[in-house]
Amino acid sequence: MDEYREPVHESADGALDPRAELSEFLRTRRARLKPEDVGLPDYGRHRRVPGLRREELAQLAGVSVGYYTRLEQGNGRYVSAEVLDAIARALRLSDAERAHLTHLAKPKQHRRKPTGRTQQVRGHLRTLLDTMEGGPAILVGRRGDLLAWNRMAAAVFGDWAELPAHERNWARLVFLRPEYRDLFVDWEQKANDVVAQLRLDAGSHPDDPRLSALVGELSVKSAEFRRLWATHDIKDKCHGIQRLHHPLVGELELRLESFHLADDHEQTLATYHAEPNSPSAQALRLLASWGTDATRTGAGMPPARTA
Domain boundary among 62, 85, 110: 110
Region 141-155: mean pLDDT is 94
Residues 137 and 249 in one domain: yes
Rounded to an integer, what distance in angstroms lies between the CA atom of residue 304 and that of residue 282?
25
Region 200-224: mean pLDDT is 90
Residues 197 and 278 in one domain: yes
Domain boundary among 53, 75, 110: 110
We report the CATH number of the domain holding residue 208 as 3.30.450.180
Q: Is the pLDDT score of 131 beyond 70?
A: yes
The pLDDT tens digits of the residues spanning 252-272 come to 999 999 998 887 778 999 999
Q: Is residue 102 part of a domain?
A: yes
What secondary structure does DSSP assign to 45-79, as a single string? Answer: S--SSSS--HHHHHHHHTS-HHHHHHHHTT--TT-
Rounded to an integer, what distance in angstroms lies between the CA atom of residue 15 and that of residue 194?
20
Q: Is residue 56 part of a domain?
A: yes
Q: Is residue 35 part of a domain?
A: yes
Residues 67 and 130 in one domain: no
Give the predicted TM-score (pTM) of the model: 0.80
Q: Is residue 238 part of a domain?
A: yes
Region 190-217: mean pLDDT is 90
Rounded to an integer, what distance in angstroms lies between the CA atom of residue 177 and that of residue 163?
12
Residues 102 and 128 in one domain: no
At residue 191, the pLDDT reads 96
At residue 4, the pLDDT reads 37
Residues 202 and 246 in one domain: yes
We report the CATH number of the domain holding residue 30 as 1.10.260.40
Domain boundary among 110, 131, 164: 110
Q: Is residue 12 part of a domain?
A: no
Structural domain of 105: 18-110
Residues 92 and 159 in one domain: no
Q: Among residues 82, 143, 114, 153, which one has the least CA distance to residue 298?
A: 153
Q: Among residues 134, 157, 125, 141, which one has the least CA distance to residue 242?
A: 157
The pLDDT tens digits of the residues spanning 280-292 come to 999 999 999 886 5
Residues 208 and 88 in one domain: no
54: CB partners within 8 A, 6+ apart:
30, 65, 68, 69, 72
What secondary structure does DSSP assign to 211-230, as a single string? Answer: HHHHHHHHHHH-HHHHHHHT
The pLDDT tens digits of the residues spanning 70-90 come to 888 887 677 888 999 999 999
Rounded to an integer, what distance in angstroms lies between the CA atom of residue 301 and that of residue 58?
51
Residues 190 and 142 in one domain: yes
Residues 77 and 217 in one domain: no
What secondary structure does DSSP assign to 265-303, as a single string? Answer: EEEEEEEEE--TTSHHHHHHHHHHHHTHHHHHT-TTSPP
Residues 106 and 160 in one domain: no
Q: Is residue 105 part of a domain?
A: yes
Q: Is the pLDDT score of 134 beyond 80?
A: yes
At residue 88, the pLDDT reads 93
Question: 193-197, 216-220, 240-244, 263-267 — which is least confidently predicted?
Answer: 263-267
Q: Is residue 115 part of a domain?
A: no
At residue 237, the pLDDT reads 67
Residues 249 and 152 in one domain: yes
Region 56-73: mean pLDDT is 90
Mean pLDDT in the chain?
A: 83
Region 125-141: mean pLDDT is 92
Q: Is residue 36 part of a domain?
A: yes
Residues 217 and 188 in one domain: yes
24: CB partners within 8 A, 6+ apart:
6, 9, 232
Q: Among residues 294, 176, 183, 303, which one has the least CA distance to residue 243?
A: 183
For the chain, how many structural domains are there in total?
Answer: 2
